[in-house]
Amino acid sequence: MQSKVTVTTLYTMKTKGEKIAAVTAYDYPFAQMADAAGVHVILVGDSLGMVVQGLTTTLPVTMDEMIYHTRMVARAADHALVIGDMPFMSYQAGAADALLNAGRFLKEAGAAAVKLEGGASVCETMRLMTQAGIPVMAHIGLTPQSVHQMGGFKVQRDEDRLVADGLAVEQAGAFSVVLEGIPAQIAEKITKTLKIPTIGIGAGPACDGQILVLHDMLGLTERHVPKFVKRYAQLGRSAGEAFTSFIQEVRTGAFPGDEHCY
């Protein structure tokens, strides 16, 4: 059995050249499946706003919702490192708020770390968190909480700024950094420059690890998925077929059969 993954496990993996497999999850059953399969990191992403709540952006997601989902995931994860994603406006308005909200993920929800979006601009906040003993994962490149500022969910190509952001979050004490929606060659440069592991999503193969949104990779959603997503299953299609069969059998009386009766 695999032992518990910690932030130091991830450093060691980078050093040894072992790739890190990360997924998002938002509830107990899927977290349990991912954990049992051996994923190293489960991120309770604020992407839940889009794939679970049916919103068009992550912006309305609240701290209380994140705590609720993180609790379910942490309960299921025996091995994977569980990271709680700090939602929009839970860390931008001030240091004290940010620290208390980050602390809630560890204290109330059972996460072992938090993630927040932004590079140099959020370094002071990251420093305070790491000084308080809260491990922080950074997230640079396409940062969905800034969708309006970026003018949409757009690939980010400013190489100098991306490399500077990577270095800044490493210096601020982040234990890892998500690289989202950036050209593969820039992600490779950042990965080679930094000592901390990079986890890519739409950032090419050179990153130290990869993360995918669970609903996208399992085909649970019919929403448009970006080019970087690979569908490893079509669970949405299977569920649709199961519902159709159920309706049919209820209509014809084929269900329940004798074997389902007391």
Residues assigned a catalytic role: 180
Is residue 20 close enough to count as binding ligand KIV by CB under 6 A?
A: no
Among 7, 26, 47, 174, binds ligand KIV (CB under 6 A): 47
Is residue 24 close enough to count as binding ligand KIV by CB under 6 A?
A: yes
Is residue 213 close enough to count as binding ligand KIV by CB under 6 A?
A: yes
- Contact between residue 69 and residue 49 where contact means Cβ atoms under 8 Å apart: no
Q: Which is nearer to ligand KIV, 106 or 207 (CB)?
A: 207
Q: Closest residue (Cβ) to ligand KIV?
A: 45
Instruction: Kindly indicate which of the ranges 43-51, 128-136, 147-155, 228-236 contains the residues binding ligand KIV, using the contact rule CB under 6 A.
Output: 43-51
In whole angstroms, what is the distance from residue 73 CA to residue 65 CA? 13
Q: Which is nearer to ligand KIV, 45 or 119 (CB)?
A: 45
In whole angstroms, what is the distance from residue 135 CA to residue 119 CA? 16
Least spacing, CB of residue 46 vs ligand KIV, in Å? 5
In whole angstroms, what is the distance from residue 147 CA to residue 255 CA? 48
Using a 10 angstrom Cβ sphere, with 0-12 exposed, 13-18 middle and 19 or more buried, the burial of residue 159 is middle
- Tell me the number of residues near ligand KIV by CB under 6 A: 12
Alpha-helical segments (H) within 19-79: 28-37, 48-51, 63-76
Is residue 46 close enough to count as binding ligand KIV by CB under 6 A?
A: yes
The partner residues of 200 in beta bridges, in order of sequence, read 179, 210
Say which DSSP state 219 is in: T
Least spacing, CB of residue 241 vs ligand KIV, in Å? 28
218 — phi, psi (to 5°)?
-95, 0
- Give the pair of three-digit tokens for residue 156: 């980010």
Is residue 109 close enough to count as binding ligand KIV by CB under 6 A?
A: no
- Contact between residue 138 and residue 116 where contact means Cβ atoms under 8 Å apart: yes
- Detail the DSSP E strand segments found in 86-203: 113-117, 136-141, 176-180, 198-201
Is residue 85 close enough to count as binding ligand KIV by CB under 6 A?
A: yes
Place of tokens 């090419």: 204
Is residue 200 close enough to count as binding ligand KIV by CB under 6 A?
A: no
The partner residues of 88 in beta bridges, in order of sequence, read none
Is residue 83 close enough to count as binding ligand KIV by CB under 6 A?
A: no
Least spacing, CB of residue 262 vs ligand KIV, in Å? 44
Q: Which is nearer to ligand KIV, 223 or 254 (CB)?
A: 223
56: Cβ contacts below 8 Å, ≥ 6 apart: 50
Is residue 176 close enough to count as binding ligand KIV by CB under 6 A?
A: no
Least spacing, CB of residue 18 vs ligand KIV, in Å? 20
Is residue 178 close enough to count as binding ligand KIV by CB under 6 A?
A: yes
Of 119-138, binders to ligand KIV (CB under 6 A) are none
Binding site for ligand KIV (CB under 6 A): 24, 43, 45-47, 85, 139, 178, 180, 201, 211, 213
